[in-house]
Amino acid sequence: MRVKTQQPKDGIRSIGKMYAWGLATVCLLPIVFVSSVATTPVWQHGPWAGGFTLDWIIQSWMVISPYAFFSIKLSLLVVMVDFIIGIPTSWVLARHRFPGRDVLLSLANVPIAVPGIAMGLALIITYPLLRKSGFLLVAGHFLYTLPFFIGSLTPQLGNPSVHDAEEVAATLGANFPKRVIHVIYPKVRTSLLAAVIMVVTLSLGEFNISFFLFNPQNKPLPVELYSAYITGRLEMAAAITLWFLCFVVPAAILLERLGGSKVGQA
């Protein structure tokens, strides 16, 4: 029978642990609060005074479902555009050295430096006629998500092990399409998935740009969320938020598991 080992008190570790758990609690308590508000009939009377109810939750779904579906459609569209533009750019950044490569890399990260409202305003002032079509919305989301897409994909594409495996395959006689399917794709699959999830999550939660670029036919979920906050009832707003979290939180957890990381807008 072994006695449980005690280890020397590590101040650095203890403090760090305290702060980390403190932060985690602070970050997650609000979600608990929101759930309690969303399930109380009348919040003014106090938490769950009057029982636990799912009414708000059901009602809110009926309100937001068109917007939720629109947001999902939008994010998938954005993923497609990111694919079309991002994959070639990632490829050329990862595989080739050429004069101006650093410039291209910095360019890809420029949207991070530009606040969302500035991007939205600029787009709408420049292409006012396109507003109705929703094209600007896609463009805005695309600009916002591209740096993260490229940042997630390029390191993996540039990974020496991928390149080496590809060269071996080439010496064994595989042509380019075959190499992509059998060698490159399996190796970058996880990063690609993480990038897609990242783009979807970012797009679902994007507000600053959408605020300027939306119109009643094309209204993303966060904009509806905002109106609920400003004008709606607290319980309804909480219920809508809960639905929003249902979409976004599992994706974020999945993303962290896959090793991805990202930053969103304020």
Partner 1 sequence: MWSRGRLAASLQFDRIGFTYPGEKSFAINNVSINVKPSELVVLVGPSGCGKSTLLRIVAGLIIPDSGRLYVDGEDTVKLPPEKRCIGWVPQNYALFEHLNVTDNVGFGLRMQGVSRPERDRQVEEMLYLCRISEFAKRSVRSLSGGQRQRVAIARALAVHPRVLLLDEPLAALDPQLRTAIRSDLKQLLRESGVTSLFVTHDQHEALAIADKVIVLRSGKIEQVGTPEELWNFPANEFVAEFLNSAIVTVGTAIDECTVEFDDGLCCRTNRNVTSGQNVTLAMRKENFEISSDGFGLKAHVLSCEYSGGIYQIKVRTEKGTLLPVTSSEKLAVGSIVLVNTKENTEMAVVGAYERSVEDNWLQGWIPSTRQPRIRVSIEDS
Partner 2 sequence: MYQKSTNRIRVAVLSLILPIIFCVLLFWPLLTLGLQSLAGTGGEITFAQYREILTSHQYFKSFVNTFLLSLFSTLIALAVGIPAAVYVEGKSGKDRKILAVLLTIPLSLPGIVIGFFIIITFGRTGIVPKSIELITGNRALAFAYTFYGMLLGYVYFQIPRVVLTLRGAVSNISQDVLDSAKMLGASTFQSYVYVIIPTLKSSIISAASLSMATGFGAFGTAATLSRGYRVIPLEIAAAFTENFQPKLAGAMSIILVLITIFMLFGITRMAELWEYRRSGKEGARVL
Applying the rule CB under 8 A, the residues between 21 and 50 that interact with partner 2 are 21-24, 26-30, 33-34, 36-37, 43-44, 46-47
Residue 15 sits in the site that holds partner 2 (CB under 8 A): yes
- Provide, rounded to whole angstroms, the least separation between the CB of residue 9 and partner 1: 7
Q: Which two tokens stand for residue 255?
A: 């993303």
Q: Which two tokens stand for residue 64?
A: 């937001």
Residue 258 sits in the site that holds partner 2 (CB under 8 A): no
Phi, psi torsion values for 86, nearest 5 degrees: -75, -40
- Provide, rounded to whole angstroms, the least separation between the CB of residue 160 and partner 1: 25
The closest alpha carbon to 147, from 230, 94, 89, belongs to: 89
Asked if 149 and 195 count as a contact pair (C-beta separation under 8 A), the reply is yes
Residue 9 sits in the site that holds partner 1 (CB under 8 A): yes
Residue from the set 1, 6, 27, 51 that interacts with partner 1 by CB under 8 A: 6
Residue from the set 1, 7, 100, 216 that interacts with partner 1 by CB under 8 A: 7
120, amino acid identity? G
Which residue stretch of 55-63, 155-163, 183-191, 246-254 sits at the interface with partner 2 (rule: CB under 8 A)?
246-254
Q: Which two tokens stand for residue 184?
A: 């490159």
Binding track, positions 125-164, relative to partner 2; x by CB under 8 A = xxx-----------x--xx--x------------------
157 burial type by CB count under 10 A (0-12 exposed, 13-18 middle, 19+ buried): buried
245, amino acid identity? L
Residue position matching structure tokens 């292409």 = 127
Residue 12 sits in the site that holds partner 1 (CB under 8 A): no
Residue 147: which H helix or E strand, with range? helix 135-157
The H-assigned helical ranges of 39-134 are: 55-95, 101-113, 116-126
Number of residues binding to partner 1, judged by CB under 8 A: 7
Q: Which residue's CB is nearer to partner 2, number 34 or number 183? A: 34
**Which residues contribute to the site for partner 1 (CB under 8 A)?**
2-3, 5-9
